[in-house]
Amino acid sequence: MSKLSPVLGLVRGRTPGQLIIQITDRCNATCPQCSMRVSNNFSRSSLSFKKCRDIIDRAAKNGVQALSITGGEPLLYLDDVCELMAYARSAGIQYTRTGTNGYFLRNPDKPGFIDHVKRSVEKLANAGIRNFWISIDSAVPSVHESMRGFDGVIKGIEKALPIFHQAGLYPTANMGINRNLGGLNNNIFTSTHVPATPGEEQDYVACVEEGLRSFFSLVANLGFTIVNFCYPMSVDTDEKGLEAVYPASSVESVIRFSKKEKSLLFKALLNTVPQYRSALRIFSPLSSLYTLLQVYNGKEMAPFPCRGGINYFFINASDGQTYPCGYRGMDNLGSYRQGISTTVPKAFCTRCDWECFRDPSELFGPIVHGFREPLSLLKKYKRDATYYRLWRDDLRYYKRCDFFNGNRAFDLKRLETYSPPAH
Ligand code: SF4
Ligand code: SF4
């Protein structure tokens, strides 16, 4: 692929392609927010190394630039994952990403812990993985550990992060937003009562903000330098006509939020994230948070269409088939290796908030739109200048963050002078 290809792609309305391979739906954690937890009884599957490698070959030919290997718990297949990631890099896929629920960081006081961690980290670093996430569910260590079912894992993460850094890998703290974010005493947020008065709404936002502040402080103290949020995926499937491809969501109240709560949640994120941008590399784009806030507030705001099914795809572990994303189970696009079906219309879709696809779609949206429909972009800009102010700020901030290159050391000096935009 020539160096001009990504630019030509943007002119033609295509952002760099992204592929998520769910290598397995096996997992050893107990997370209440996810139906793949170990206690759930269903027939589990994994994709073979060869199948994944063939998919990567095809992805590289298709010009895919970003590859994620997810699970279940991907590191149950540590050697395969590392080999596949290295293979993808050598095939020209630059942005490689995988992660863990942290199970191999349990028992930090056991003899041999450091050596055992060093061996795994060395494999991950040698594979040239660009971004590596470690999930953190709560600002309160004991709450996180009881959700995951991993005693002592927070101390293990703290001990392991310097080893990662030494090997040139700067992991991301990945928070899937849930009601235990600020701990179990964060009452307004942990309760499922939907705020009904302006006073209750204000208290709710303040409560989430407090939880977020504690979370940022925990992850910074542990030694993380990159943070990402996954937005709640309690999709009203009936209403939106969606059908989850894989069991990543749950019916448990810990992860289910009403529309009103989501609007307050996005408000709290939009207020809090900018305050910590000068201390941590926080991926969640303000332009996305702002768009979601407007949408949940019922304001007229057309988000940029999601690239899911256009040039972002998801490969499911249980049937090995390709889907536009993890939430359009009714749109089976067939085998990625053999060439996916083109019969499913490349629809304008904004039916869920899956950050893996929605955040980059929102970030690339103005660029793609600018090349294809400059006038309509101008109109959009005039209607909502705040969005564009936040979007420009996102790009400037991303540059300061080396575009979240998890192989680059944290340069706090470049972030310290960042000042949040008005919105
Ligand atoms: S959230 Fe991740 S670690 Fe937790 S049960 Fe689901 S797949 Fe496993
Ligand atoms: S918005 Fe994107 S991720 Fe969500 S259902 Fe539509 S294509 Fe899938």
The stretch 93-122 carries a mean pLDDT of 97
How far apart are alpha carbons 283 and 231 in whole angstroms? 13
pLDDT at 4 over 60: no
Q: Phi/psi of residue 133, each to 5°?
A: -100, 150
C-alpha angle with apex 371: 61 to 16, nearest 5 degrees?
25
Atom of ligand 2 nearest to the CA of 242: 5
- Residue 206: predicted pLDDT: 95
pLDDT band at 236 (very low <50, low <70, confident <90, very high): low
pLDDT at 57 over 90: yes
DSSP label at 97?
E
- Closest protein CA for atom 7 of ligand 2: 308
Instruction: Indicate if ligand 2 lies below 6 Å from the C-beta of 328.
Output: yes
How do strand 312-315 and strand 322-323 relate by DSSP bridges?
antiparallel
Residue 36's contacts (CB-CB under 8 Å, 6 or more residues apart) are: 25, 26, 27, 71, 72, 246, 247, 248
- What ligand is nearest to the CA atom of residue 247? 1
Over residues 391-418, the pLDDT tens digits come to 999 999 999 999 999 999 988 899 988 9
pLDDT at 185 over 80: no
Atom of ligand 1 nearest to the CA of 71: 7
- By the 8 A CB rule, do 244 and 326 touch? yes
**Joined tokens for residue 7:** 């630019």
pLDDT at 384 over 90: no
pLDDT at 2 over 60: no
262, exposed or middle or buried, with CB in 10 Å at 0-12, 13-18, 19+? buried
Over residues 270-326, the pLDDT tens digits come to 999 999 999 999 999 999 999 999 989 987 666 788 899 988 999 999 999 999 999
How far apart are alpha carbons 420 and 390 in whole angstroms? 9
C-alpha angle with apex 62: 60 to 67, nearest 5 degrees?
50
The stretch 249-270 carries a mean pLDDT of 91
- What ligand is nearest to the CA atom of residue 36? 1
- Closest protein CA for atom 5 of ligand 1: 37
- Residue 10: predicted pLDDT: 60
- What ligand is nearest to the CA atom of residue 327? 2
Instruction: Indicate if ligand 1 lies below 6 Å from the C-beta of 244.
Output: no
- Closest protein CA for atom 7 of ligand 1: 72
Instruction: Indicate if ligand 1 lies below 6 Å from the C-beta of 25.
Output: no
**Joined tokens for residue 19:** 């592929």
Instruction: Indicate if ligand 2 lies below 6 Å from the C-beta of 113.
Output: no
Q: Which of 357, 359, 362 to mutate to test the pocket of ligand 2 (most atoms within 8 A of CB)?
A: 357
| Entry pTM | 0.93
C-alpha angle with apex 151: 189 to 99, nearest 5 degrees?
75
- Residue 346: predicted pLDDT: 64
Which has the minimum average pLDDT: 89-98, 233-242, 301-310, 317-326? 233-242
Longest dimension (CA), the chain: 64
Q: Supply the angle between the helices 113-126 and 153-166 in degrees, to the nearest 10.
A: 50
Q: Phi/psi of residue 96, each to 5°?
A: -110, 140
Ligand 1 centroid–CA 387 distance in Å is 34
Give the percent of the chain with pLDDT over 70: 92
204, exposed or middle or buried, with CB in 10 Å at 0-12, 13-18, 19+? buried
The beta strands (E) that lie in 222-311 are given as: 226-230, 281-282
Tell me the one-letter amino acid at 388: Y
Name the average pLDDT for the chain.
Answer: 90
pLDDT at 245 over 60: yes
Over residues 337-357, the pLDDT tens digits come to 888 866 666 667 888 888 899
DSSP label at 318?
T
- Closest protein CA for atom 4 of ligand 2: 352
- Please name which of 357, 307, 360, 346 lies closest in space to residue 70, comparing C-alpha atoms: 357
Instruction: Indicate if ligand 2 lies below 6 Å from the C-beta of 356.
Output: no
- Residue 249: predicted pLDDT: 75
Instruction: Indicate if ligand 2 lies below 6 Å from the C-beta of 325.
Output: yes
The class of domain 17-416 in CATH terms is alpha beta
Instruction: Indicate if ligand 2 lies below 6 Å from the C-beta of 307.
Output: no
Instruction: Indicate if ligand 1 lies below 6 Å from the C-beta of 149.
Output: no
Helix (H) or strand (E) segment spanning residue 239: helix 237-240
- Residue 188: predicted pLDDT: 80
Residue 167's contacts (CB-CB under 8 Å, 6 or more residues apart) are: 121, 122, 124, 125
163, exposed or middle or buried, with CB in 10 Å at 0-12, 13-18, 19+? middle
